Structure 1
Amino acid sequence: MEMESERQMEGWETPKRVECRIPAVLPCPPPPKKKSPAGAYGKRRAPPKNGYFHPPDLEAFFALAPRREASCA
């Protein structure tokens, strides 16, 4: 009984029960495994039937527009 009164006089105490304790630190999981590059680069595609790129007619693209005369009014 004397111990109880001493504890009450001292103030608050940290709980010591197992369910109140901070759990032990668990080890980190392993890093993710690298994906195999064979899946991404293993197959080659056939070239397109119409070719890769067909540029527009460059002569028509750079054709000069007719000049307009400045009007002096």
Structure 2
Amino acid sequence: MATNPFEDAEGRYVVLVNDEGQHSLWPARIEHPAGWELVKEESGKQECMEFIEANWTDMRPRSVVAALAG
């Protein structure tokens, strides 16, 4: 097991999203922080990274996108 739970290639992860639409790869065994919603159930790191890559296509926070549009 890696000493850093965020860098365990063999670990189990989930994907979280905050109110700004930012995604986070999160170790499944660690309680996720307040303000973050679970959007991908527990799976391997690679599968979670692929989910993030496919779904987080604009790195700008939602508030920045809204400010630029309005």
User: TM-score, with normalisation over the residues of structure 2?
Assistant: 0.20
Whose radius of gyration is greater, 1 or 2? 1
**Bigger helix fraction:** 2
Tell which has more relative contact order, 1 or 2 (C-alpha 8 A, sep 6+). 2
User: TM-score, with normalisation over the residues of structure 1?
Assistant: 0.20
**Bigger strand fraction:** 2
